[in-house]
Structure 1
Amino acid sequence: MSRPDDLAALRSWAAEARPVFICGHERSGTSALQLALARHPALAPVPDVYETFIFSRTREWLADPPHAMQQAYVGGREALARLREWAARLAGGAAHTLEEDDLLRAFLAFAAHETYAGRRLLEKTPTHVLSLPRLFRLFPRAQVLACVRDPVAIADSYRLRLSRERALGKPREAWSWLELGIDELIVRLRRVDRALRDSVAFAPGRVFLVPYDWLTAVPADALAAICTFIGEPYDEAMLAPRALRRSRVDERLSQPISAAPAAPSLLAEAERTTLRRETHGLAARWRVPGCLPVGSSSAVLPERP
């Protein structure tokens, strides 16, 4: 199938496309899930963990230098140059004159038709959970896998990753996003929870919660249920990814999905208590895999019990 040759065709493509987006809260298994699904023969074989941020940083693939992961997602520097040339043709001269929605459609259409041709589009960026209204407006047939996790475990995961990044001697700009206070984390957790519950109103049955503990405890069962949700046959290849070509802070991403070994908590008891108290309601909701039930919008459910 060739790429759309004008804006009308591009918009029609997006309206009928069936991409699979992985989002949710950071440190909740989004990377592991993306790497597993990329092994499915029907889905885009994204070779690494590329977070495009395309819904929030839509124009950055036109910048110089471009957004590094957006460039990597479409196949590298030469592929990005072809994408820019095609977008310019769609715009009748200059790609930057396209509206942001069309730039976003063009970015993903190029990936679908050229980078991952013949496969169903797969994209992963945790913060896209905050862009669900736009996502479903542009891609009404999309399906979203929202990874969630116990709030205390998320906080511990931030601390552990921060410790590892520092131990590797990386510059602060590489790990500053991990320096998250408990109060700020609670705000973020509530924003994600609200975004997920609100999605029931405009995308009923199209957002599937993937609790981390479920995914890692029974990965075969979880992946089978996820495949049923996205309408693809289960394939055991998802459970046996090849070793990745570059070393990682978390070597578990080079291995099949499994539960993490027990590790001492890096949180103070007061922090754990605060998290439990302030996120009790959402923590209970995030234990249950599957589509959110109708009637679970944030206008109905309170933030706290």
Structure 2
Amino acid sequence: MNTSVILKLYSVESMDFQIYKKMLGDWASSQQPVFIMGPERSGTSLLFQQVSNHPEFCDFSHATVETFCFIKPWLLLEAAGPDNYEMRVYLGQKNFNSFQEKIHPLIERNRKLSAEGMLLQYLNSAERETIWYERRYKHLLRAFFYNSWQNLGKKRLVEKTPAHIRCAEEILSAFPNAKLLICTRDPAEIIASHKKRFKKEVELGKKPGDQSIAWLNHSTTDYLKYFSAIDNKISALAARHSNKLIVVPYGQLTSEPEQNLKKVFDFIGVDNIGATASADEKTEQAWDPLLNQAPQKNLVDFSEQLSRQDIELIDAHRPTLKNSWI
């Protein structure tokens, strides 16, 4: 991109907006939001429910929310539609128009960058850092969470999107004091859970080739490659940000919930009220009644979902994972 285009883009931002960005930066540095991530079907919903039930955190008993905001931040710049629905739930539906008015300079900047041919997707691009910086995604996401924070009563933020494991570095660049809870689970249980869910979706009327359930229908080999990539990502993050994350294995969380929830709450720096509260004291979950129960082991009969060959592949692969997945 030539220098004249970049200079024109800077002129889009008024002094008032520069002040707004400075305020967002100060606010982001003062916050300790919790981001829950990890492979799909690894217990992220269960952990999200436990954290959001805590009185210091924003309450999401009314809905499950996976914003994908760090995966597809450009959707915050677009008109309201199905692709940014859950982002709007998090933000508050009635607040979306006023939010976009506040970030109008970013909308204009991104419109011009798109006209110049810059990609929207940064994650898989060789120009990842350039796209992230030039499109000002960090400021956009800070504005999104700041306005959500106001909508949610200025309580501590918690957000759950499994795929955010792919952009943990960007999360920490936007929120330097964020805490990451990374869920893991035995690979055989994850794969069997995917297969079981896929069958259920087909039984409910979806066609096997429906793109909305494609994420549930991969080969065992592809799943294992994916788990290895996540495992490597966890190790790399731990090497750089050991005080910013913990791994929360599903098996440990469900077999010894009080002990492991205490570890979680100690790590994020709140009293252990969520692990010890009685059922009567906890907020009822409207969106998934099963989550109203105490954490408990969800046993999966592998023989119903996995072939002998699948199980042999998984057994051979499991020892190669460096982090705890049990």
Q: Deviations over 1:217-267 (max 9, x none)?
A: 121221111000000001147674555435x5xx53343321114535310
Give the Cα separation in 1 of the matches to 2:106 and 2:206: 44
The yes-or-no answer on 1:213 pairing with 2:254 is no
Task: Say whether 1:43 aligns with 2:57.
Answer: yes
Counterpart position of 1:25: 39
Alignment of 1:101-120 (within 5 A): 101-112=138-149, 114-120=150-156
Structure 1 residues 238 and 25: CA distance shift in structure 2, 3 A = farther
2-side partners of 1:185 and 1:52: how far apart?
A: 23
1:182-206 per-position Cα deviation (integer Å, ceiling 9, x unaligned): 1211121011111110012321221
Task: Give 2:155's aligned amino acid.
Answer: R
Under a length normalisation based on structure 2, what TM-score does the superposition of the two structures give?
A: 0.78
Q: How many residues align?
A: 277
Checking the alignment, whether the CA contact within 8 Å between 2:235 and 2:323 is kept in structure 1 is no
RMSD of the TM alignment (CA)?
A: 2.3
| Alignment match of 2:177 (pick from 108, 119, 141) | 141
In structure 1, what residue type is equivalent to 2:311? R
Secondary structure, aligned partner of 1:67: helix
- The alpha-carbon distance between structure 1 residues 92 and 219, as it changes in their structure 2 partners (threshold 3 A), is closer
Indicate which of 88, 95, 98 corresponds to 1:79.
95
Q: 3-state DSSP class of the match of 2:103? A: helix
Q: Name structure 2 gaps, 5 residues minimum.
A: 1-17, 112-134
2-structure distance, mates of 1:239, 1:166: 38
Give yes or no for the alignment of 1:12 onto 2:26: yes
Please state how far the C-alpha of 1:174 moved relative to its aligned partner. 3.3
Other-structure match for 1:223: 261
Measure the CA separation in 2 of the matches of 1:127 and 1:191.
12
Shift in CA distance, 239/84, structure 1 to aligned 2, threshold 3 Å: farther
* Matching residue within 245, 258, 266 for 2:286: 245
Pick from 301, 308, 311: which aligns with 1:272?
311
Structure-to-structure mapping, 1:150-299, within 5 angstroms: 150-170=186-206, 172-236=210-274, 240=279, 241-246=282-287, 252-265=290-303, 266-282=305-321, 285-287=323-325
Deviations 1:265-303 (A, max 9, x none): 310010111122123221x62147xxxxxxxxxxxxxxx
Residues 215 and 222, structure 1, Cα contact 8 Å, conserved in 2: yes
- Determine whether 1:127 maps to 2:170: no
1:160 is paired with a residue of what secondary structure?
helix
Q: Is the 8 Å Cα contact of residues 84 and 95 (structure 1) preserved in structure 2? A: no
CA distance in 2 between counterparts of 1:243 and 1:117 reads 19
Going from structure 1 to structure 2, the CA distance change for 1:95 and 1:31 (only over 3 Å counts) comes to farther
Distance 2:277 2:219 in 1: 35
1:6 alignment partner AA: Y
Aligned to 1:70: 87
Structure-2 separation of matches of 1:263 and 1:256: 21
Deviations 1:55-97 (A, max 9, x none): 1101112223251111111122x12122212222xx3884746
Q: CA deviation at 1:15?
A: 2.4
